[in-house]
Homo-oligomer: A and B are copies of this chain.
Amino acid sequence: MLKEIYQRQSIRKYKTKPVEQEKIEELLKAAMQAPTARNNQTWRFLVITNRRQLDEMTELQPYTGMMKTAPCAILVMGDKEASADEGYLYLDGAAAIENILIEAVHQGLGTCWCGIWPKTERVEGFQKKFSLPAEYIPIGVVAVGYADEEKPIQNRFDVTKIQYVK
Point out which of A26, A30, A98, A130 has the most chain B C-beta atoms below 10 A from its C-beta: A98
Known pairs A33-B8, A35-B8, A85-B118; A162 contacts B90 (CB<8 A): no
Q: Which of B2, B94, B95 contacts A4 (CB 8 A)?
A: B2
Number of A residues with CB within 8 Å of any CB on chain B: 61
Residue of chain B at shortest CB distance from A90: B90
Point out which of A1, A53, A115 has the most chain B C-beta atoms below 10 A from its C-beta: A1
A28 interface residue per 8 A CB criterion? yes
Quickly give the copy total for this chain. 2
Known pairs A87-B118, A106-B1; A45 contacts B98 (CB<8 A): no
A134 interface residue per 8 A CB criterion? no
25 contacts between A and B (CB under 8 A): A1-B106, A2-B30, A2-B102, A2-B106, A5-B30, A5-B102, A6-B33, A10-B35, A28-B157, A28-B162, A41-B158, A43-B161, A44-B161, A45-B163, A46-B163, A47-B164, A48-B165, A49-B166, A50-B165, A87-B117, A88-B118, A90-B91, A91-B93, A91-B140, A95-B95
